[in-house]
Structure 1
């Protein structure tokens, strides 16, 4: 099952299938799954109308998906419809589930998401991971993964795959962490340390956060620039900023990730905003993280790092603490300067602020928007705040596995 999951990781788009009769059947199975997932419950006739196939063809496909446990029949449609009522179809809440995991600088998290998109199990461990070697961190993460898988199995689910979000550069092999400065990890083959039976894949946390925004999000205050995406109000072209201790970004273009030649696109936190500024863990100077990362904002506000950093900053700012508000204004300005270069170069439809710092948006956005408006060559780029916040990377990881199942259900039919 590695191939479907890897395709979902590497493109953020539906998996390309061979242009053969078998490939066409698999594509049509995927079309049925996506139609029912997006608009269900639906009858066979309604599915046929939406995807442009005959009722007979759709009925054959539906029967195959029901037998595989991927769709379920809910009984006759509601009364009042003309003609013989059909049986309503829905995506099954049992069967394959996506397992998502996140390695943060100060936490580990795991969740299981079923095909309906519901989170069915979750586990989290708070504790510093910076400076620890990967082996004990992954051992702890594996314990959480096994716990979540066990809870999911008790509800009639089985793991279709595992996707892991990490705060660093990940090679195109979807397993090697080339560099994670805030963890002090370099050239680590995480794929070799993760549970092989779950077909693990690894990606940058900002990429998974952007995919979660594409599939699930609906940013606040997006304005006229936000176009429709997977659902109403979800843009398909945007720059997603995932900001906490580190700051990453991911560019979504026409519903897919723009990764760059080596897969390293989006390192916004290491864009210099003041070239003569303080040294950064990446080896550069004056990087954005030195002005807008959580720890930098705490230093500027004269506060000590703690467990609930964002909560402390938000509370002090709401109370009118001028030192905190000044630090947040400066952080917003630094974000605006860094984003100006990205906006001028890439011309995204909108910018979405996610991650932990999205909780500080009321105090960050005014100066951020001012810098963008003052420095952007073209019209002002709308800036919105992700409703997913810090949950984005973890949910994006789990949903990437779910999307792989929806994109090629024939590869996941029944228990492996």
Structure 2
């Protein structure tokens, strides 16, 4: 089971990564905000005394004790025995988030798979279920199978004292901002699909682009945060069949006017190149997507994971076709990233998904192209490989639900 601590500070709103709301304008909103601040202080520390929580968030001990009592009654906090003393006075009891109560459900719809997991308020993954998909599969059939997995995970965590607070679904396509409609997912062959219609209303539902959720996972989850020093300004690029990017600037996800920002796979790197499923030509996806790399390396891609392992083995053995495919992918990726770096000026670029698997061979040509093509000569952009593996979007989805509980404890 994986676990991660959440950074302090609520992010208000139902939509994953939404900006914090304006200053509270009612007593209830003020109480909600202060309850949330206490929860995030505990989440950041793991265990913390009431006095230390008061110091951390800048409220009086009496005010924090009142908030703590309310959270204890609601089951959103636990209080353990005396913790370590700060050197002044007696040691206080330790506050911690509970391992029961509300949990977040995250789901990922891939081209060839479905995955669902449950994460508790401590950030620990408590259950997981997965199934293969045939491609293409109609949205109604994929959603029916997803409902089965969601129920399987919910049933698995119920004996552990956990109940789902909501479901966030990661999809490889553009999603209507603030809605549940997959506007365009060419690799699924889905267009204008409202997942709420297919999944029902058993749980509050959020639908989000997988690359956005992968970037939020880098921002939120401990393992990802340790991967690079630029915690608030970075571009995370991931590749499966397609290539997506999550853009985080000043600690906020950049979504765009319609929520379509980050469709990095459809940035043209060779304007007269191969035709893409989106209808364009020469898109990055045709050269750096996992399927394209496997095809160029002449590796059968019937089973993605096995095919990637085979490509890795061939590259390690010095196979010419494998090395050429990975070099071409890195060159195309670096060309596209140079435009993003020139436009956004991030401090870091993080490679995830299949790109992380091939980082040893992809990073050098990426670095070369960035050096050749970025306008700010001498300005360093940190390049790193994500440690979150293939589950980044899935974990980002589940943690989005956990954060919504921490953001709005009065709504439970």
- TM-score over 0.5 for the pair: yes
Q: 1:15 to 1:194 in 2, by over 3 A?
A: farther
Paired residues of 2:217 and 2:224 also in contact (CA < 8 A): no
2: CA distance, partners of 1:367 / 1:219: 25
How many residues get paired? Answer: 398
1: CA distance, partners of 2:12 / 2:201: 14
1: CA distance, partners of 2:404 / 2:301: 39
1:112 is aligned to 2:110:
no
Q: Which residue of 2 aligns with 1:208?
A: 213
1: CA distance, partners of 2:99 / 2:20: 22
Q: Which residue of 2 aligns with 1:173?
A: 178
RMSD: 1.8
TM alignment of 1:301-340, pairs within 5 A: 301-307=297-303, 308=305, 309-340=307-338
2: CA distance, partners of 1:17 / 1:76: 35
Paired residues of 2:214 and 2:392 also in contact (CA < 8 A): yes
1:81 CA drift (Å)? 4.6
Unaligned stretches of 5+ in structure 1? 228-234
Q: Which residue of 2 aligns with 1:44?
A: 50
Paired residues of 2:100 and 2:161 also in contact (CA < 8 A): yes
1:6 CA drift (Å)? 8.7
1:127 CA drift (Å)? 2.9
TM alignment of 1:403-414, pairs within 5 A: 403-412=403-412
Q: Which residue of 1 aligns with 2:89?
A: 83
> Does the residue aligned with 2:123 lie in a helix, a strand or coil?
coil
1: CA distance, partners of 2:130 / 2:22: 35
1:281 is aligned to 2:287:
no
> Does the residue aligned with 2:265 lie in a helix, a strand or coil?
helix
Q: Which residue of 2 aligns with 1:57?
A: 63
1:219 CA drift (Å)? 6.4
TM alignment of 1:347-358, pairs within 5 A: 347-358=345-356
TM-score, normalised via structure 2 length: 0.93
2: CA distance, partners of 1:389 / 1:249: 15
2: CA distance, partners of 1:14 / 1:355: 29
Aligned pair partner of 2:289 in 283, 293, 298: 293
> Does the residue aligned with 2:236 lie in a helix, a strand or coil?
strand
Paired residues of 2:104 and 2:164 also in contact (CA < 8 A): yes
Q: Which residue of 2 aligns with 1:244?
A: 240
> Does the residue aligned with 1:160 lie in a helix, a strand or coil?
strand
2: CA distance, partners of 1:210 / 1:117: 17
Paired residues of 1:212 and 1:392 also in contact (CA < 8 A): yes
TM-score, normalised via structure 1 length: 0.92
Unaligned stretches of 5+ in structure 2? 1-9
2: CA distance, partners of 1:185 / 1:165: 14
Q: 1:219 to 1:77 in 2, by over 3 A?
A: closer
CA deviation string 1:358-412 (max 9, x = no partner): 1110010001110011100112422111111211100000000001111111112
1:214 CA drift (Å)? 0.4
2: CA distance, partners of 1:174 / 1:253: 23
Q: Which residue of 2 aligns with 1:364?
A: 362
1:77 CA drift (Å)? 1.6
Higher relative contact order (CA 8 A, sep 6+): 1
1: CA distance, partners of 2:275 / 2:12: 36
Q: 1:15 to 1:397 in 2, by over 3 A?
A: farther
TM alignment of 1:212-231, pairs within 5 A: 212-216=217-221, 217-218=223-224, 222=228, 226-227=229-230
Which is further off, 40-49 or 75-84? 75-84
Paired residues of 2:241 and 2:289 also in contact (CA < 8 A): yes
1: CA distance, partners of 2:91 / 2:200: 46
Aligned pair partner of 1:133 in 134, 138, 148: 138
1:357 CA drift (Å)? 2.1
1:78 CA drift (Å)? 3.7
CA deviation string 1:119-174 (max 9, x = no partner): 0000011233x321100100001100000011111100011100000000100133
2: CA distance, partners of 1:86 / 1:407: 26
2: CA distance, partners of 1:367 / 1:220: 24
1:392 is aligned to 2:402:
no
2: CA distance, partners of 1:28 / 1:220: 28
1: CA distance, partners of 2:249 / 2:326: 30
TM alignment of 1:138-149, pairs within 5 A: 138-149=143-154
CA deviation string 1:254-287 (max 9, x = no partner): 1111111111011110111101111100000111
Q: Which residue of 2 aligns with 1:194?
A: 199
